[in-house]
């Protein structure tokens, strides 16, 4: 089927031009990546952003799946010799997969059913009379008796009528209009109901032990919680609906007169059809719809949180000491320099059971002085709070400007035992690799966190309950988007980082590193063409995102794509500038454009490029080493420590948002337990979701509302009198 039929629909949904959709689809079909299209094909798409391009990609994929299913269904019905023009038109006009499946249901090959058996007994003509509510019958009993056939298994009139009712029940169930009506009624009037199936484990699902909420308004996180309880065998879940109302809806569609002797039998068939066939099927559909909706919502929130975690600003030009705290096995300490290079590692035993507090401090003082450590990064796991106390004493006793910060260590253990970690640090044990990862997460969150399965980063809700394939696809998109938005240093990037660059896969990333190890640093982007497996398309897709800060040729250090080098050279020529001058002071570009009274339109024409591309060239040359993350809030470094017992209601503190969920946000305020800002305490204005108010990584001022040490709960508010 022709995609052109869908361009208009997508364009209307996204409020863009039809040609923009068509051109974008053509680029996607030609194996161009979304980051590349968004950044380097603005003239072709009409300046669409990455989000719009992703929406087009998802929509065209949906329509192609829909079209393929329509074709399969049409072929199947046609082979049966039952495809009418009217049915074909309905199937082709369907805009949802469910509509296609409803229309296909009467023709879909079925396993042996009660209706199938009745048809084999020759009762279909009787069922047709029943469905039509035939009235022109001289002798009803004689008519029914004519279907008695002991050889076929019909021994009496009641058996004949029962078989006819079975056929009618299946026909009613297969009616697309009936399905549509009952589905809509259940969506609008149904209640999701859960109840305790067992007392064991119900404490985790107390609020759902006897719970009801309308299908149309149940919150996604409740759906996921209920599903989990059901999966664990703790909850029984149903969709409750007034059965009489549903049967009345079907009767209005089928009971066309009250005078037929078949009336009561058809009514019985409708009741049976609803209870035995329609209701269970519609309930499964509605539950599936709710789960799909909840999955999409949870994945979307996880993706937003992940983006904010990955885009946290790096800590530049600092020697960092990472501590992976522990009790019995000790705390692993790793020092890295400003480039992330591992300098030294030690193990200390300040806590139970060894209690070598003073000795541990001496060892840390020595390593801090030796490497001029400026920041201590402490993992937030076991013994984190106790290690904070150690850090405070170090800071108080230090002669340097030392500070500490708590780092989310979610997934660090996954990384440290991974093949990649073994390749990076083959001679170090697992826990020392974890300490290095904690330090590097502070130095450059994006570069380090790409080494970990995004699901393990710990900023989602119910991430293990949602569709794992959809979750992985979305999170990979987020990582890819962040990596390409920031750009990658070709000479320092890890394999984990390189594989997310547009156009580069895991094999290409390995080959880039192998060549870098064998021949030394890349001196130019052109050298990428010598990498095994890097064809022309892979080079085109990736080159603009791979930077060489120390490159001899200035443009290789910028976001200017090699295909635009000629245009960039012409621009500098028109402005009477050279790369040496621009590299030293990029701000001169816009000053010169303004002084010479050039318009962007005129410059673009003279440089032989489009206006959006020229704007990007100017921006790239003006700020060649710009890291977009530097404009975001910096992490909060601490020099003192708070304990839960130090907290008092009404205290005002500054904290960092660690996770945003449907009901609020969790904030690190410097104690081991993150506090919760319930959504009701976020803003006085109306908002749909907490992500409209705060994001992961935001620094926020909060007021202590409540402290419950025994429950490990802290209530916070962003509302101040």
For residue 186, being part of any structural domain is answered with: no
Q: Please tell me whether residues 343 and 466 are part of one structural domain.
A: yes
Q: Please tell me whether residues 605 and 660 are part of one structural domain.
A: no
* 3-state SS track over 561-600: CHHHHHHHHHHHHHCCCCHHHHHHCCCHHHHHHHHCCCCH
Q: Please tell me whether residues 566 and 614 are part of one structural domain.
A: yes
Among 249, 106, 272, which Cα is nearest to 188's? 249
Tokens of 460: 């989602």
For residue 288, being part of any structural domain is answered with: no
Among 513, 510, 522, 563, which Cα is nearest to 539's? 563
Give the pLDDT score at 401.
Answer: 86
Q: Please tell me whether residues 493 and 349 are part of one structural domain.
A: yes
CATH of the domain at 36: 1.10.10.650
Give the pLDDT score at 186.
Answer: 98
Q: Please tell me whether residues 701 and 591 are part of one structural domain.
A: no
Residue after which a domain boundary falls, among 464, 488, 513: 513
CATH of the domain at 649: 2.40.50.140
| Chain position carrying tokens 């929130």 | 301
Give the pLDDT score at 634.
Answer: 78
Q: Please tell me whether residues 568 and 428 are part of one structural domain.
A: no
For residue 193, being part of any structural domain is answered with: no
Q: Name residues whose C-beta falls within 8 Å of residue 356's C-beta, 6 or more positions apart in sequence.
A: 348, 349, 350
Residue after which a domain boundary falls, among 79, 107, 135: 107
Mean pLDDT, consecutive 10-residue stretches, the chain (721 aa), reads 86 96 97 97 96 97 96 96 95 94 93 94 96 91 93 92 97 96 97 94 91 96 94 96 97 93 96 97 97 94 91 93 94 95 96 95 95 94 87 89 89 87 91 94 93 82 83 92 95 94 95 94 95 94 95 94 97 94 91 92 95 95 85 76 80 90 90 89 93 92 91 90 72
Give the pLDDT score at 538.
Answer: 96
Q: Please tell me whether residues 565 and 665 are part of one structural domain.
A: no
Q: Please tell me whether residues 324 and 463 are part of one structural domain.
A: yes
127: preceding bond cis by omega (within 30 degrees): no
Residue after which a domain boundary falls, among 596, 624, 652: 624
Give the pLDDT score at 588.
Answer: 93
Tokens of 560: 């200017």
For residue 207, being part of any structural domain is answered with: no
Number of helices (H) and strands (E), helices first, in the chain?
Answer: 31, 15
For residue 331, being part of any structural domain is answered with: yes
pTM: 0.87
For residue 635, being part of any structural domain is answered with: no
Q: Please tell me whether residues 333 and 395 are part of one structural domain.
A: yes
Give the pLDDT score at 566.
Answer: 97
Q: Please tell me whether residues 444 and 366 are part of one structural domain.
A: yes
Domain span holding position 501: 320-513
Among 387, 369, 490, which Cα is nearest to 435's? 387
- The whole-angstrom distance between residue 459's C-alpha and the CA centroid of its chain comes to 11
For residue 443, being part of any structural domain is answered with: yes
| Total domains present in the chain | 4
Q: Please tell me whether residues 600 and 457 are part of one structural domain.
A: no
For residue 359, being part of any structural domain is answered with: yes
Give the pLDDT score at 602.
Answer: 93
Q: Please tell me whether residues 445 and 594 are part of one structural domain.
A: no
């Amino acid at each position: 089927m022709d995609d052109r039929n869908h361009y208009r629909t997508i364009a209307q949904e996204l409020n863009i031009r039809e040609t923009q959709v068509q051109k974008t689809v053509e680029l996607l079909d030609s194996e161009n990546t979304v980051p590349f299209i968004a950044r380097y094909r603005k003239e072709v798409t009409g300046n669409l952003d990455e989000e719009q391009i992703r929406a087009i990609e998802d929509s065209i994929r949906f329509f192609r799946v829909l079209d393929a299913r329509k074709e399969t269904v049409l072929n199947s019905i046609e082979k049966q010799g039952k495809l009418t023009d009217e049915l074909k038109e309905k199937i082709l006009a369907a805009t949802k997969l469910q509509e296609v499946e409803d229309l296909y249901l009467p023709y879909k090959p079925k396993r042996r059913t009660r209706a199938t058996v009745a048809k084999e007994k020759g009762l279909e003509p009787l069922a047709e009379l029943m469905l039509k509510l035939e009235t022109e019958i001289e002798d009803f009993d004689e008519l029914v008796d004519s279907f008695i056939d002991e050889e076929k298994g019909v021994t009496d009139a009641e058996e004949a009528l029962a078989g006819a009712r079975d056929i009618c029940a299946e026909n009613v169930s297969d009616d697309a209009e009936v399905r549509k009506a009952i589905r809509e009624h259940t969506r609008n009037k149904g209640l999701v109901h859960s109840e305790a199936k067992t007392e064991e484990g119900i404490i985790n699902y107390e609020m759902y032990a006897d719970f009801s909420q309308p299908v149309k308004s149940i919150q996604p996180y409740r759906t996921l919680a209920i599903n989990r309880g059901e999966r664990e065998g703790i909850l029984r879940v149903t969709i409750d609906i007034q059965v009489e109302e549903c049967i009345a809806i079907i009767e209005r569609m089928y009971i066309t007169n009250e005078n037929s002797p078949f009336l009561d039998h058809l009514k019985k068939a409708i009741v049976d059809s609803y209870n035995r066939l329609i209701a269970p099927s519609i309930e499964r559909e509605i539950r599936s719809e709710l789960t799909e909706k909840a999955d999409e919502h949870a994945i979307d929130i996880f993706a937003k949180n992940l983006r904010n975690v990955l885009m946290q600003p790096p800590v530049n030009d600092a020697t960092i000491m990472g501590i992976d705290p522990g009790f019995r096995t000790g705390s692993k300490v790793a020092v890295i320099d400003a480039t992330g290079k591992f300098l030294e590692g030690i193990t200390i035993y300040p806590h139970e059971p060894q209690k070598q507090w003073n000795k541990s401090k001496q060892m840390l003082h020595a390593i801090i002085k030796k490497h001029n450590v400026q920041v201590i990064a402490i993992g937030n796991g076991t013994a984190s709070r106790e290690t904070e106390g150690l850090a405070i004493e170090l800071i108080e006793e230090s002669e340097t400007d030392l500070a500490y910060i708590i780092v989310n260590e979610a997934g660090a253990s996954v990384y440290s035992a991974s093949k990649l970690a073994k390749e990076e640090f083959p001679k170090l044990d697992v826990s020392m690799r974890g300490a290095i990862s904690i330090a590097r997460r502070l130095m450059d969150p994006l570069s380090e966190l790409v080494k970990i399965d995004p699901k393990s980063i710990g900023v989602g809700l119910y991430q293990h309950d949602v569709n794992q394939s959809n979750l992985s696809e979305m999170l990979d998109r987020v990582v890819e988007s962040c990596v390409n938005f920031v750009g990658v240093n070709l000479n320092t990037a890890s394999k984990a980082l390189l594989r997310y660059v547009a156009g580069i896969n895991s094999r290409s990333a390995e080959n880039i590193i192998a060549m870098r190890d064998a021949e030394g640093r890349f001196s130019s982007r052109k050298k990428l063409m010598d990498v095994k497996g890097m064809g022309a398309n892979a080079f085109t897709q990736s080159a603009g995102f791979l930077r060489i800060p120390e490159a001899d040729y200035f443009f290789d250090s910028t976001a200017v794509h090699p295909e635009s080098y000629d245009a960039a050279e012409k621009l500098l020529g028109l402005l009477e500038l050279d790369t040496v001058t621009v590299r030293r002071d990029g701000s001169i570009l816009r000053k010169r454009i303004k002084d010479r009274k050039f318009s962007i339109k005129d410059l673009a024409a003279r440089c032989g490029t489009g206006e959006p591309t020229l704007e990007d060239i100017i921006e790239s040359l003006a700020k060649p080493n710009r890291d977009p993350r530097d404009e975001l809030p910096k992490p909060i470094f601490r020099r003192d420590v708070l304990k839960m017992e130090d907290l008092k209601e009404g205290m005002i503190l500054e904290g960092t948002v660690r996770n945003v969920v449907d009901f609020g946000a969790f904030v690190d305020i410097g104690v081991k337990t993150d506090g919760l800002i319930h959504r009701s305490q976020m803003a006085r204005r109306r908002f749909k979701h907490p992500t409209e108010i705060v994001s992961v990584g935001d620094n926020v001022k909060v007021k202590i509302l409540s402290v419950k040490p025994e429950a490990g709960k802290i209530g916070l508010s962003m509302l101040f009198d």
